[in-house]
């Protein structure tokens, strides 16, 4: 059942909210009795929340894309959208305080007594949404509960900007969310479980994640969502350093980068634990950071690697949503990326190097003998050894830079074997022609990359330069 996960996603989105552009309303002078602007702004906000009109909400002062995503998530099930529309409100105009650059107004929001409804419903999750709506529709408005919302505005250049949008959105939708949770808590853990094997791939593995890779995969598998992807606005308290959202008619895509590996792991495991406790029909969990869930009307993927997390959720129960999740994960893990997490702190990991060199047509060979202070090394090369490129990971940046400086000094002094015909030294790059060998050496943090072209023909020089360019140098 999707309720537990939906609430986590709502909280997740609200962590990253911030004030956005405002909607203009007419401001008259200072006394509240003669100023309808505050009331009019409140009416527009409540009407948008009740009708789940995310587009209009984004146009109102104080709301942003994150709030709109929350509204869209609550409204993805038609029955829940109808339930929310049963809400009505009364604005307490006597509560209006509008002075100088600030305004407040209290709103009594009338909502069905969801708790009493779900407590009397039969345990039949497969019929929950229809049964829930039918029961709400029959309830007399005299039984409705009241939520008092205080809307706080700042007034700038005749514009009302809501300053407590997070609180308003959460409190408005909490009653229906809590009721769904109450119902879920009544459902036995083993109710309706079966293995319907919705996920079709078999070669699931761990890959390095980046926002570029996320968008590339998304563009290949769901271009509609990719065209609507946007960056989240992070507040100072959020543990995320990057947040990107995309959605289509069937799937919500989230990509997040955390400040630390531990924070990413903790968040991902929390999401997976909550999803698992909801009693999925199908569940798969790897030992390295991937969880897959299938419910009656929801499919979900939580996938993390290092500091990055991807979360895909299809909440409309459609076959299209299931296939989009399948397609995304197969595209994400189907390329030549390795299973193990990266072992370097440099610009490139060994996994990146192997993948890029393989794509260039080079053979890959791990090294069994390491230089001093080198903790890992791998080679890429042609079958005739005319091009050899090594990737060395040093124990720290200082050791890598020391090797670079020593190698450069030995070339400049002529102490290396062979005559140096040409030597160009930059801050982190050495280019040299040593008799019959063309050499490029680059240091980046704790990584040293050395490329050799033998002999130093125009063809080999071009191949070395092309290989280095593919690595970003």
pLDDT digits (tens, 9 = 90+) for 273-320: 766 665 555 566 676 778 777 776 677 888 888 888 898 888 666 778
Indicate the average pLDDT of the chain.
Answer: 77
- How far CA 172 is from CA of 88, 184, 270, in Å, comes to 11, 20, 25
pLDDT for the residue numbered 154: 92
Mean pLDDT of 132-146: 91
Q: What is the mean pLDDT of residues 262-268?
A: 83
Listed residue (103, 8, 21) closest to 57, CA to CA: 21
Closest C-alpha among 151, 173, 150 to residue 60: 151
pLDDT at 270 over 70: yes
Give pLDDT, residue 338.
30
CATH 3.40.1000 fits 211-333, yes or no: yes
User: What is the location of CATH 3.40.1000 in the chain?
Assistant: 211-333, 350-470
* Residue 68 to residue 71: CA distance in whole angstroms: 5
pLDDT digits (tens, 9 = 90+) for 355-365: 888 888 888 88
Would you place residue 146 in the very low, low, confident or very high pLDDT band (cuts 50, 70, 90)?
very high
Which residues, 6+ apart, have CB-to-CB distance to 375 below 8 Å?
393, 394, 395
d(CA 133, CA 181): 15
Q: Report, in angstroms and rounded to the nearest whole number, the Rg of the chain calculated over CA atoms.
A: 29
Q: What is the pTM of this model?
A: 0.43
pLDDT band with cut points at 50, 70 and 90 for residue 46: very high
Mean pLDDT of 329-353: 57
Domain 3-186 has CATH 3.20.20: no
Q: pLDDT tens-digit profile of 59-112?
A: 887 888 778 777 877 776 667 888 899 999 999 999 999 888 899 999 999 999
Average confidence (pLDDT) over 197-218: 73
Q: Give the model's pLDDT for residue 113.
A: 93
**What residue ranges of the chain are covered by domains with CATH 3.10.450?**
3-186
Q: Alpha helices of 78-198 — where are they, by DSSP H?
A: 78-84, 114-120, 128-138, 165-186
Q: Supply the pLDDT for residue 303.
A: 86
How would CATH label the architecture of 350-470?
Answer: 3-Layer(aba) Sandwich (3.40)
């Amino acid at each position: 059942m999707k309720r537990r996960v939906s609430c986590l996603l709502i909280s997740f989105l609200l962590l990253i909210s911030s004030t956005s552009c405002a909607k203009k309303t007419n401001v008259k002078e200072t006394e509240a009795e003669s100023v309808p602007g505050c009331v009019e702004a409140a009416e527009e906000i409540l009407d948008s929340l009740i009708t789940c009109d995310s587009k209009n909400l984004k146009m109102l002062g104080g709301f942003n894309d994150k709030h709109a995503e929350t509204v869209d998530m609550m409204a993805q099930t038609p029955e829940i959208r109808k339930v929310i529309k049963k809400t009505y409100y009364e604005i307490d105009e006597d509560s209006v305080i509008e002075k100088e650059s600030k305004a407040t107004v209290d709103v009594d929001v009338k909502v069905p007594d969801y708790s009493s409804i779900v407590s009397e419903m039969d345990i039949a999750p497969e019929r929950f949404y229809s049964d829930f709506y039918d029961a709400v529709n029959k309830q007399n408005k005299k039984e409705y509960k009241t939520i008092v919302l205080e809307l706080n505005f700042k007034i700038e250049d005749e514009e009302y900007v809501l300053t407590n949008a997070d609180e308003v959105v959460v409190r408005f939708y909490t009653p229906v969310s809590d009721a769904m949770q109450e119902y879920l808590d009544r459902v036995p853990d083993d109710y309706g479980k079966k293995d319907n094997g919705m996920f079709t791939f078999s070669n699931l593995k761990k890959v390095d994640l980046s926002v570029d890779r996320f968008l590339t995969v998304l563009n290949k598998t769901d271009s509609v969502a990719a065209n609507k992807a946007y960056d989240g606005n992070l507040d100072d308290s959020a543990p995320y350093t990057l947040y990107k959202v995309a959605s289509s008619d069937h799937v919500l895509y989230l990509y997040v980068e955390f400040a630390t590996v531990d924070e990413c792991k903790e968040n991902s495991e929390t999401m997976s634990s909550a999803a698992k406790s909801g009693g999925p029909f199908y569940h798969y969990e790897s030992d390295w950071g991937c969880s897959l869930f299938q419910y009656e009307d929801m499919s979900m993927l939580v996938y993390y690697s290092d500091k990055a997390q991807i979360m895909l959720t299809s909440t409309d129960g459609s076959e299209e949503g299931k296939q989009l999740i399948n397609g995304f994960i197969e595209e994400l893990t189907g390329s030549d990326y390795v299973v193990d997490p990266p072992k370097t702190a440099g610009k490139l990991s060994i996994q990146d190097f192997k993948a890029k060199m393989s794509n260039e047509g080079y053979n890959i060979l791990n090294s069994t003998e390491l230089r001093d202070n080198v903790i890992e090394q791998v080679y890429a090369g042609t079958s005739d050894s005319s091009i050899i490129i090594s990737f060395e990971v040093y124990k720290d940046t200082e050791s890598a830079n020391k090797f670079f400086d020593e190698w450069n000094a030995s070339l400049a002094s002529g102490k290396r074997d062979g005559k140096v015909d040409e030597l160009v030294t930059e801050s982190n790059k050495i280019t040299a022609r040593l008799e019959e060998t063309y050499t490029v050496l680059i240091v980046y943090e704790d990584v040293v990359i050395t490329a050799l072209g033998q002999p130093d023909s125009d063809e080999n020089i071009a191949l070395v330069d092309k290989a280095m360019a593919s690595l970003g140098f």
